[in-house]
Amino acid sequence: MSKNKKPIVAIVGRPNVGKSTLFNALAKQRIAIVKDTPGITRDRIYADVTWLDKAFTLIDTGGIEPDSRDIILSQMREQAQIAIDTADVILFMVDVKQGMVDADAKVADMLRRSHKPVILVVNKVDNFDKYMADTYEFYNLGIGDPHPISASGRLGIGDMLDVLVSYFGDSESGDEEDERTRVAIVGKPNVGKSSLINKLIGENRLIVSEIAGTTRDAVDTPVVYNGKEYIFIDTAGLRRKNKIKEELEHYMIVRTVGAIERSDIVILVIDAVEGVTEQDAKIAGIAHDRGKAVIIAVNKWDAIEKNNKTVNQYTAKIREILSYMPYAEITFISALTGQRLPKLYDLIDVISENHSMRISTGVLNEIMSEAVALQQPPSDKGKRLRLYYITQVGVKPPTFVIFVNDKELMHFSYTRYIENKVREAFGFRGTPLKFLIRERREKK
Ligand SMILES: Nc1nc2c(ncn2[C@@H]2O[C@H](COP(=O)(O)OP(=O)(O)OP(=O)(O)O)[C@@H](O)[C@H]2O)c(=O)[nH]1
Ligand SMILES: Nc1nc2c(ncn2[C@@H]2O[C@H](COP(=O)(O)OP(=O)(O)OP(=O)(O)O)[C@@H](O)[C@H]2O)c(=O)[nH]1
């Protein structure tokens, strides 16, 4: 697992074993609520979870309607493959009431061969005294100890999570900080992701065997360009035969979440011929949620008729539809002709710097005082908002804490105003900024 990246945990299991129930129980402990992303239908496909100070991203790999046995098995295999490709740890869920079935054994084989850490979760153990003995048959799956839980009764979940987080490894452990910029290339099928990545990689591909041999990393390509190292994370090739639209969409999102999670910068590829679609907006919403820096690459620019207004028209349309990410850089490219691709590397560098830029507390407070002097903070029922102090507490994305007298008075619009002032002063092109508001008693 690469350093500083949040681990990904996937739940796999037959229909009806209780995956969604567990997912919902864990997602309740959501802490990091990032700004809401309006206009996005929220699939409950992924969620932030924290347990004992350890944060991870939970992915539900599928809720597919069962038709016949064969279909269930083949779908489970696909689910499991997605989990193997994207997750750091897999929760394999079975149902004690149903007992061990054939499909469980087959999927267990597949998971075992992947050499990924797998935790065998036996659900619906609603009464530990009564049903514990029934969990032992799952030893036959050959993937280790069964961990009994009741997802709906909230039993055993804490113990299971203790085991889960023990697989994450110590993020403080001595491996070297990875300085390479990690760039995820995402977008819906057929927009030109493979074409783009092939062109970007070109002769710059770095032949190394140093990248760990997990399946997941097979799609991570290290590249040297102008003496700098980058890692491109690929999500192309998701078109599948005989897939219904919803399934495809689900897989696309799961894989996209996985790639985005492991990246610093996201290049969202949009098809100029089609314009911005709902699917594009969904993917953009994921990048925004995860606090990643974003470049919107409008591809196939060679294929449309243009005049001197076209760029502005496209830009306006993108800004309108993706209004929650005004910080995103927009560039018009052609993976076919190579138009503006060298510039894309420059853009990645600039944005990567902004994404991890730190501003000193003194300078930030100067900017904030000026902003407050220019536009009086709001008041309510005779009480006026006071802003005491601002400081940067993190990077990737840059994260600031503003201390105020009363949180209720700090309206979204005033936070936005301060954000704009910070951006006027320092740019921060391409990266979202996060503002946390804390209350503090006036000190005198
Ligand atoms: N008795 C019992 N029932 C449970 C438990 N957890 C979930 N269930 C029930 O099992 C059924 C299936 O739960 P879901 O969470 O929808 O299962 P799923 O695995 O997400 O199902 P798919 O969406 O079909 O893949 C529901 O009726 C739940 O109420 C449990 O711990 N004990
Ligand atoms: N005119 C034009 N066609 C392009 C460009 N980039 C890609 N294409 C074409 O668009 C089609 C899809 O390109 P791919 O690179 O396979 O797209 P993808 O996003 O990787 O597709 P998936 O594998 O389905 O995710 C191919 O026929 C490409 O030749 C471009 O810049 N201009």
Q: What is the pLDDT of residue 170?
A: 56
Contact yes or no for 390/400 (Cβ under 8 A): yes
Q: Going by DSSP bridges, is the β-strand pair 146-148/293-299 parallel, antiparallel, or unpaired?
A: unpaired
pTM score above 0.90: no
For domain 8-167, the CATH class is alpha beta
**Ligand 2 atom with minimal separation from the 198 CA:** 15
Q: Which two tokens stand for residue 252?
A: 């696309």
User: How many whole angstroms from its chain centre is CA 426?
Assistant: 26
Q: Which fold has domain 181-356?
A: Rossmann fold (3.40.50)
Task: Say if ligand 1 is within 6 A of residue 153 CB.
Answer: yes
Q: Which is it for the CA torsion 290, 295, 300, 305, positive or negative?
A: positive
**Which ligand approaches the C-alpha of residue 339 most closely?**
2
Cα 113 to ligand 2 centre (Å) = 34
Task: Say if ligand 1 is within 6 A of residue 123 CB.
Answer: yes
Identical fold, 181-356 and 361-439 = no
Q: How many Å apart are CA 211 and CA 86, to the nearest integer?
A: 16
Q: What is the pLDDT of residue 266?
A: 97
Q: How many Å apart are CA 73 and CA 238, to the nearest integer?
A: 20
DSSP one-letter string for 238-250? ---TT--HHHHHH
**Which ligand approaches the C-alpha of residue 243 most closely?**
2
Task: Say if ligand 1 is within 6 A of residue 250 CB.
Answer: no
Which region, left, alpha or beta, applies to residue 271 given φ > 0 means left and ψ of -120 to 50 means alpha? beta
Mean pLDDT by 10 residues, the chain (444 residues): 69 85 74 33 64 85 54 74 83 93 88 90 92 88 92 93 86 55 92 90 57 45 85 72 62 84 94 93 92 97 94 95 94 95 92 93 93 94 92 93 93 94 93 92 57
Q: In Å, what is the CA distance from 5 to each residue of 81, 168, 262, 264, 437? A: 21, 11, 6, 9, 25
Q: What is the pLDDT of residue 41?
A: 31
Task: Say if ligand 1 is within 6 A of residue 72 CB.
Answer: no
Q: In Å, what is the CA distance from 152 to each residue of 66, 124, 177, 268? A: 22, 8, 41, 38
Q: How many Å apart are CA 183 and CA 231, to the nearest integer?
A: 6
H helices of 87-192, where? 102-114, 128-135, 157-166
Q: How many Å apart are CA 46 and CA 30, to the nearest integer?
A: 11
Q: Which residues contact 118 (CB under 8 A, 6 or more apart)?
A: 89, 90, 91, 92, 111, 112, 143, 144
Q: What is the pLDDT of residue 42?
A: 34
Q: How many Å apart are CA 251 and CA 62, to the nearest integer?
A: 8
Q: In Å, what is the CA distance from 293 to each residue of 4, 33, 435? A: 16, 18, 16
Q: Which is it for the CA torsion 285, 335, 195, 341, positive or negative?
A: negative
Cα 123 to ligand 1 centre (Å) = 9
Mapped onto helix, strand or coil, the DSSP state of residue 92 is: strand
Domain boundaries, the chain: 8-167, 181-356, 361-439
Q: What is the pLDDT of residue 58?
A: 87
Kindly compute the dihedral angle of the four CA atoms of residues 41, 42, 43, 47, in this order, to the nearest 10 degrees.
Answer: 160
User: How many whole angstroms from its chain centre is CA 303?
Assistant: 31
Contact yes or no for 15/66 (Cβ under 8 A): yes
Q: What is the pLDDT of residue 294?
A: 97
Q: Which fold has domain 361-439?
A: GMP Synthetase; Chain A, domain 3 (3.30.300)
Is the ipTM value over 0.85, yes or no? Answer: no
Cα 223 to ligand 1 centre (Å) = 45
* Known binding positions for GTP: 13-20, 60-64, 123-126, 187-194, 234-238, 299-302
Q: Whose CA is nearest to atom 15 of ligand 2?
A: 192
Q: How many Å apart are CA 113 and CA 121, to the nearest integer?
A: 18
Query: Which has the closest alpha carbon to 104: 143, 130, 132?
Result: 143
Q: What is the pLDDT of residue 401?
A: 93
Q: Which is it for the CA torsion 415, 417, 423, 425, positive or negative?
A: negative
Task: Say if ligand 2 is within 6 A of residue 150 CB.
Answer: no
Task: Say if ligand 1 is within 6 A of residue 21 CB.
Answer: yes
Q: How many Å apart are CA 226 and CA 196, to the nearest integer?
A: 18
Helix axes 245-261, 278-289, angle to 10 degrees: 30
Task: Say if ligand 1 is within 6 A of residue 17 CB.
Answer: yes
Task: Say if ligand 1 is within 6 A of residue 126 CB.
Answer: yes
Q: What is the pLDDT of residue 442?
A: 59
345 membership: H or E segment, kind and range = helix 341-355
